[in-house]
Chain A
Amino acid sequence: MNEIATRCIDIIAKSKSIPADSISLANTFDELNIDSLDKINISFEVEEAFNIEIPDEALSTLRTVGDMVEGVTKLTSAPAPIPTP
């Protein structure tokens, strides 16, 4: 598991007070008893941890922990703007 996945799972584990090793990328948020409000709280933690901004509309499309890791990976690897001459 890569560093982004590990850090995302740690944030979820802390937020829900459950052991990190009980969470897998395949887990749905429903399985982890994470409701839409929990998801919003976790999103703020993730934004701070990775210094990213998650689009508000994106949260409702995330179904699994893997979806969240994939989204964070995309946001953290977005190319820097090409400087204009």
Chain B
Amino acid sequence: MRIASVGTAYPPHRYSQSQISEALTARWQDRMEEPRLINRLFVNCGVDFRNLVFPLDVYENLSGFGPTNDAWIIAAVELGEKAIDTALARVGLTPADISAIFFASVTGIASPTIDARLINRMPFPTSVKRTPIFGLGCVAGAAGISRASDYVRAFPNQYALLLSVELCSLTWQDNDQSIANLISCGLFGDGAAAVVIAGSDTALAKRTCATCISGPKILDTRSTFYRHTEHIMGWDIGDMGFKIVLSPDVPKVVNEHLRGNVESFLTDNNLALDDISSYIFHSGGPKVLEAMETTLNLPENALEASWRSLREVGNLSAASVLAVLEDVLVNNPGKPGTYSILAAMGPAFCSELVLLQW
């Protein structure tokens, strides 16, 4: 089985970090003893730009969970459709070719889910199998690839589609000026990504041509759950919607667990860290990326694609690692036979590793 294609889509309203900082400072300055804290936190987020689903002056008019979630549904469907169109067009597929859809998001909820609404807009077969995933947060990009690859392992002549839409700006909370919420407002952005995963007996998985961009094979996946770490990251869900839970201990958890997870995973595949030629890691934030670099003793610039994604669009939660994957696939694919690790961590706390071979 193989990652055949990745497509991303971003909302049209693009702002610099300082523009967002100024807007939120103006909006919350009467609620804060020291409003300059916003910009002082924002400049440390490693983010230069973000695309937002609405113009900045619209957000103060969004009030309450219901209207905000309604806005999320409309925007998620539109952005999701664009990401799917891009991913499918890159390999000459149409929605009719897809047998299973995995939809991951943690920034809004809907029933029927976003994937169902897309089936009504796009010519997917009515027999398509749907697996909506809510709550995995940032890890869902990597975990979604793992679950979709499990599916095509069972049905090797089929294509599965992973879609993630994350509209993090719709979780900004007017009544929460905690450090966690301010960092969240400075770090997370809006975007969508779709990935086509081809079963090993499909035409795309078997295709070989000198000029095609050929995505990597998925060799193995590994989920690791860290017991009793629920407090590290997640949502407190209340009348106003999603309120961030974000512990400063996230980098510590990375330092404690990631290297052991990766080494054990590679050992089980008769490989070692030295065998890995590139790393496709979730753009969690500066502290998380630094912890990943340190604990794995990575070479300089090993995570450049992740840092670039963070600077250009912010942390897109589940969609981030998929945006990094698109960058690598299109601009810097591995040489034939080389190995990559795709990885993300998220609420539970937990990690998901995917071993790829180009």
Contact = CB atoms under 8 A, between A and B. Distances in A.
| Main secondary structure on A side of the interface with B | helix
B179 A37 contact: yes
B248 A59 contact: no
Nearest to A43: B40
Chain A residues touching B, range: 10 to 19
Nearest to B183: A37
A74 B39 CA distance: 22
Contacts of A40: 37, 40-41
Contact of A60 (B39, B44, B248): B44
A21 to B, nearest CB: 28
B345 to A, nearest CB: 19
A57 B287 CA distance: 17
User: Among the interface residues B34, B37, B40, which one has the most CB atoms of the partner chain A within 10 A?
Assistant: B40
B34 A56 contact: no
Given A36-B44, A37-B179, A44-B34, A56 B248 contact: no
| Main secondary structure on B side of the interface with A | helix
Contacts, number: 24
Nearest to B18: A56
Contacts of A59: 40, 43-44
Interface in A13-53: 35-37, 40, 43-44
B36 interface: yes
B204 to A, nearest CB: 45
Nearest to B33: A44
B248 A35 contact: yes
Contacts of B39: 56
Interface in B1-60: 34, 36-37, 39-44
User: Among the interface residues A40, A43, A57, which one has the most CB atoms of the partner chain B within 10 A?
Assistant: A40
A56 B179 contact: no
A35 B249 CA distance: 11
A36 B43 CA distance: 11
Nearest to B179: A37
A40 B43 CA distance: 11
B248 A57 contact: no
Interface of B: 34, 36-37, 39-44, 179, 248, 287
Interface of A: 35-37, 40, 43-44, 56-57, 59-60
Given A36-B287, A59-B44, 8 more contacts: A37-B41, A37-B179, A40-B40, A40-B41, A44-B36, A56-B36, A57-B43, A60-B43
Question: Lowest 4 CB-CB distances: which A-B pairs, in order?
Answer: A56-B43, A40-B40, A56-B40, A56-B39
